[in-house]
Structure 1
C-alpha cells in the first residue's frame, strides 16, 4: 500500500487541472479599464495607467474619478480594496532601472492618502494583496521593452513583506505558467477565500490557480481557468467568494465572472 509520503509526492507532481470556463455574469463599460479592476461592497474601480474610475455596481454609473500626473504616476498596474483603503501597485514601466511604489487612496473620495516607495526590487511591482497577516507582491520582469539586462520573464518573483516592508519570503513561478507569460509577466494576482493565489498574465484569457508549498520556494500550479478577460489585474468580490472581476482591455469593460470550483487539498504553506 503506498505510503502517505508517496501519495503526497504524486499529488505535488500531478499536472495542473484544466477547469471549465468561468461564467460571465455582467459587463460594464469603463474607459479607464486598461490595467485592471478593484471591487468592494458597492463599487468597482477601473484602473488605468494614471487614472481610476469608480462605478456604482448596481447602476453602472461612474460616481468618481481620479486623474494623476503621468510624470509622477506613469503606470498604475493594479489596485485592491484592503481594510477600507484602495491600495495600488505602481511602477515606472517602461523606464529602467525599474522602481516601484505602493500608492494608497481613499476609496470613498479617491483622494490620494500616501505613497510608500519600494525602490529597487527584483522587478517591477505589478500587483499587491494582503493575506495571512502579510503583504504579498509580484515583481515582474520582461523580455525586451521594460526589461533590464540579465533578466527576462523567468525572473518574475512573488515576495512576502511584513508591515514595515521587510521581505519575509520569496517564491518563484513554475515553468508551466512562465511559458505562457512570455515575453511579459504576471499582471494580476489575488488570494481567494480558499487560501489559493489566483494570477493572470498580460494578455491570455486565463487565470492560473497556485498554492503556496509547505517546503521549497516554487509556487505550485494546480489549475487553469479559461476566463473572458485578457490578462491584466483581477479582484475577488469578497461578499461572493466564487465571483471574480477582470477586464477586457480591448473593449474597455469590467467583466464579472463566476469561477468553477477548484477541488483538492490547498497544500498551503506559510
Structure 2
C-alpha cells in the first residue's frame, strides 16, 4: 500500500450573499490506495475504514497500510454496505438490500479495534434504502434514498425526488423529515444522496453518486425542503464521505474507479462567506 501527498488547489464556485459567483479554494491533503474504497470511507484519529458492499478494510492513516479486513459471512450476510461513521469506539455502517424490493435497511455496528461485528439495528421496510447516518445535536440523522433509474425496472420503485433526510431520537423514533432542493436533486439524478454528515461548522454536507461535489445544506426555517447554500468541488467521485473529528475541517472521500481514499480540507461556511465578501468588496 502507498500513501502520497498532493497540493492541488481546486477552484470552488460559491454563491455570495450579493448573488455573484466567487471562487474558493480547497486543498487536497493525501491519497491512499485501498481496494475496498468503492462505496465509502469512515475515519477516526488514527485509522480510516474503506468500505465496499461486503468488506471493510481498516487502514493506518500514517503509513497507509491495511491492518485489518472484515468480510461478510453466513452469520453476517451483508451484501450492500453503503457508508460508515465512527462514533466513540464503534463503526456504524449503513446496509440495504438495494436493488431489491421491497426496500429494507439496517445499521450494522463494528468494534473499531477488532472490526468484530457487535450489533445491529434493523429498520425493516422503511422509507427507502438507507445510505448514510450521522449523530448531531443529540439525535440520529439518516438518509433513505430512491433511484429514478429503478423506476422502469419495478413498479414499486419511486423516483429520486422521494429521497428523505430523517431525524431520529435515541430510540430510533422518527422526529422529523426533509426533502432535498431541486438544484441538488438535479445533480443527484438519476441516482440519489450517497453520503453525508454534519460538518464542524454546523452545516450539513452531502454527496451524490457520481459527481466530485459536496452540497452544503441547512435546515429550513419553515417548510420541508432543505436549503442549498453552496456547491463545493472536490477530488472525489461522490459516494460515502466522513468528517475527521480529530482534524476539524478535514473530510475523507473516495475515488471509486481507482480504489483510493482521499483526504481534503473543506472551507467552512464562515470561510466561504468571508471569501465572498472580499470578492464583493
What is the TM-score when the length of structure 2 is the normalising length?
Answer: 0.85
What secondary structure sits across from 1:22 in the alignment? strand
Map Cα deviations across residues 84-121 of structure 1 (whole Å, 9 max, x no partner). Answer: 21001100011111000000000110000011110111
Higher strand share: 2
Deviates more, 1:24-33 or 1:144-153: 144-153
1:31 aligns with 2:69: no
Check 1:225–1:148 CA distance in 2 against 1; reply closer, same or farther (3 A cut): farther
How far does residue 240 in structure 1 lie from its aligned partner after superposition? Answer: 1.7
How far does residue 15 in structure 1 lie from its aligned partner after superposition? Answer: 6.8
What secondary structure sits across from 2:107 in the alignment? strand
Q: What corresponds to 1:209 in structure 2?
A: 216
Q: Distance in 2 between matches of 1:148 and 1:106?
A: 39
Note if contact 1:18-1:225 (Cα within 8 Å) is conserved in structure 2: no
Map Cα deviations across residues 57-110 of structure 1 (whole Å, 9 max, x no partner). Answer: 001110111001388211000010012210011000111110000000001100
Q: What corresponds to 2:139 in structure 1?
A: 134
Note if contact 2:201-2:268 (Cα within 8 Å) is conserved in structure 1: no
What is the TM-score when the length of structure 1 is the normalising length?
Answer: 0.89
Map Cα deviations across residues 8-32 of structure 1 (whole Å, 9 max, x no partner). Answer: xxx9x98797653531111000000
Give the number of aligned pairs: 254
What secondary structure sits across from 2:148 in the alignment? coil
Q: Distance in 2 between matches of 1:83 and 1:248?
A: 26
1:89 aligns with 2:94: yes
Q: Distance in 1 between matches of 2:159 and 2:20?
A: 24
Note if contact 2:104-2:124 (Cα within 8 Å) is conserved in structure 1: yes
Q: Distance in 2 between matches of 1:147 and 1:231?
A: 25
Q: Distance in 1 between matches of 2:104 and 2:204?
A: 24
Q: What corresponds to 1:63 in structure 2?
A: 67
- Structural mapping, 1:19-168, within 5 Å: 20-69=24-73, 72-145=77-150, 149=156, 151-168=158-175
Q: Distance in 1 between matches of 2:267 and 2:42?
A: 20
Map Cα deviations across residues 122-159 of structure 1 (whole Å, 9 max, x no partner). Answer: 11000000000110000000013387636101000000
- Residue segments in structure 2 that go unaligned for 5+ positions in a row: 1-14, 275-281
Q: Distance in 2 between matches of 1:126 and 1:88?
A: 9
What secondary structure sits across from 1:31 in the alignment? coil
Q: What corresponds to 2:12 in structure 1?
A: none
Cα RMSD over matched residues? 2.2
Q: Distance in 2 between matches of 1:84 and 1:112?
A: 13
Deviates more, 1:101-110 or 1:236-245: 236-245
What secondary structure sits across from 1:246 in the alignment? strand
